[in-house]
Structure 1
Amino acid sequence: MASTSESMIPVVDFAKWTSGGSSRLQIAQDIVAACKKVGFVYIVNHPVPDHLVDEAFLWSRLFFDLPQEDKLKAPHPEGWAVHRGYSWPGLEKVSQAISTTNDQERAQQLREVPDIKESYDIGSDQNSSQPNQWIPDEVLPGFRDFMLRFYWECFVAGGEILRALAIGLELEDENYLLEKHSGHNNQLRLLNYPPVPAETLENDRAARCPAHTDWSSITLLFQDDCGGLEVQDVASPGKFVPATPIKNAIVMNVGDLLQRWSNDHLRSTSHRVTLPPLSDRFEGEQRMTRRRFSIPYFLAPDPDSVIACIPSCMGADEPAKYEPITQAGYNQMRASMQY
């Protein structure tokens, strides 16, 4: 297992995962070690073909380049219960501070700093409680078919990573985590961060995506070469380090639900999107930021799955910290402040 020199996020080569034996065990142990220490890991040579990752970014650009009236033909429904469709800049405010503060005045101040990004959320077409909001096929022919294909390709990769986590956690059944994930409760998100004057971000008049943790089991993130993703330095609270882009790598991170599931053995680490780290990422006299694209894929257990402490993460001297809860119950508990 290696680390990038700048971010110190470990890099795990998944190429030998299918070969079995000691290589498979070592990969599993390396991923779990990263999830315990940092909560983030780069995974290279993963099961999602590089050409599909490239094509996903192409389709994402084509979608966000559509006229606004076309994107609004698939609007995100009101409220938090259904997380699908197009969210225009300023609709969503992601902030850990908002969801944890009891100070309503402070929460309102945070909400007044808009997140300058737009997104499009996709799920399984077989999830009746989270129905997809598709733009008409004639607006962008081929978009729907590709995105559903990419959605399930990401689940294949995510399933293998869940198996690796189970092995690294010394569970007897490598499907212990995966069996609670049918794939129908996952979420594929396309993200576009438009160019903005760097000064508006530096002076907190706008944000890209403030510091937060994810709610899910794990997140798989594909990012372009722009930069801007930062991960909290677990050794220095309040300090963030860049998650420098690696071409076609998955940036995998632990979500809050898996942290709870693992009795806090695995770490759900705060992260944010802000200014890219290099001055040459800015353009013109206004120091405009480059346009940034990223594609996260959130893996979540099925809604009726009961999430109780993983057996290998507790014992006589370490009882379970959390009561069992269904995924739906946990999601409801966390979701009310999102929109």
Structure 2
Amino acid sequence: MKIPLVDFSPWNQADDKSGRKKVAQEIVDACKKVGFVYIINHPVSESTLDEAFDWSRRFFELPMEEKSKAPHPEGWAVHRGYSCPGLEKVSQAVSGGDDENVVKQLRQIPDFKESYDIGSDEDRLQPNQWIPEESLPGFRAFMTRFYWDCFGAGKEILNALAVGLDLEDEDYLVKKHSGHNNQLRLLHYPPIPAEELEKERAARCPAHTDWSSMTMLFQDDCGGLEVEDVARPGTFVPAKPVKNAIVMNIGDLLQRWSNDHLKSTYHRVTLPPLSDRYEGASCMTRKRFSIPYFLSPDPDTLIECIPSCMGENEPAKYEPITQADYNRMRASVQY
């Protein structure tokens, strides 16, 4: 399986209707067959991405006591602030009758990563946890701009998906996303003895799907992201870094929304390729940075089948559910 690559530049030409339609169809075809696609020549500039990774590195280089001044709140309800290695455990579990035992079993293999989660400052349900300005002057201002820059690109991709799905209203999906329920995540995978990962005493990020409508990922040159081959379940292929590209993938909500036309594909972060795996004589993995941006509809949005994805011979497969209710099922076992 190969992850398709789409040049987004024709989409930005308002008078090139055929070019825009071609881009939309290429993205939707990739999301139907693979669930992942590289998007190049997108609206987020190279200089902005370089600056975002620089700020991310500077944040994670801060002493633990400084990062911990913006802690992830206890519990699962608020998904903001700094999470130290081992706090989060990514899984496919949903809340049920035996959550305590599920969580205990999952946490036998900790996730060795640290993260910092940012949202809209206007989201009262998910208040941001900012570090003090003096800890890293300029960090908050840049990340606030970057959050909305990413949403600008995300809206264009949502519009392209709507066109590729033959919806009459190009803004059908965008109207469900105000931008205030999205999540910008800075991720750092610190060096770790490769043996810890090889012998499964620790993990970086286990195989999972995303809960959101879609994810836009920016990654450094380290590698380690893998995507499940939809034709060979259990087999994963590398999503090799492409400079300045968005790695876009469909989330569970958009798979549900599209009546399974679009695929929310399992993916994971593990050891980098052999050529980049080790650093130094002690066989430590290279540190890795990535920046995912999760687009989610507003909490009270009802997720029910997209009109063009059902018909007389293809009824809706899922009962309607609000974004808030779906998020609650998934988040309650993660922290």
TM-score (normalizing by structure 2)? 0.96
Is residue 14 of structure 1 aligned with residue 8 of structure 2?
Answer: yes
Q: Whole-Å Cα distance in 1 between the matches of residues 320 and 171 of structure 2?
A: 19
Deviates more, 1:67-76 or 1:88-97: 88-97
**Are 1:158 and 2:171 an aligned pair?**
no
Q: How many residues align?
A: 333
Deviations 1:13-35 (A, max 9, x none): 00111213100000000000000
Q: 1:93 to 1:301 in 2, by over 3 A?
A: same
* Off by >6 Å, runs of 4+ in structure 1: 98-104
Mapped to 2, the partners of 1:101 and 1:25 lie a distance apart of 47
Contact 2:213 2:294 survives alignment (8 Å): yes
**Larger mean Cα displacement after TM superposition, 107-116 or 295-304:** 107-116
Q: What RMSD, in angstroms, separates the aligned Cα atoms of the two structures?
A: 1.6
Q: Residue 311 of structure 1: which of 296, 304, 307 is its match?
A: 307
Question: Given that residues 98 and 110 in structure 1 are in contact (C-alpha distance below 8 angstroms), is that contact kept between their aligned partners in structure 2?
Answer: no
Shift of 1:98: 7.7
Write out aligned runs for 1:177-326 (5 A).
177-326=173-322
1:109-188 to 2 correspondences below 5 Å: 109-188=105-184
CA contact (8 A) 2:219 2:289 kept: yes
SS at match of 1:138: helix
What CA distance in whole angstroms lies between the structure 1 residues aligned with 2:275 and 2:106?
A: 27
Partner AA of 1:186 in structure 2: N
* 1: CA distance, partners of 2:254 / 2:96: 19
Amino acid paired to 1:231: V
* One-letter amino acid of the structure 1 residue matched with residue 298 of structure 2: D
1:325 Cα offset (Å): 1.5
Residue 29 in 1 paired to residue 33 in 2?
Answer: no
One-letter code aligned to 2:65: E
Identity %: 74
- Decide whether the 8 Å contact of 1:42 with 1:249 is kept in 2: yes
Matched, 1:331 2:334: no
The TM-score normalised by the length of structure 1 is 0.95
Question: Mean alpha-carbon deviation: is it higher for 171-180 or for 12-21?
Answer: 12-21
CA distance in 1 between counterparts of 2:97 and 2:231 reads 24
CA distance in 1, matches of 2:103, 2:145: 39
Say if 1:98 and 1:107, in contact at 8 Å, map to a contact too: no
Amino acid across the alignment from 2:12: T
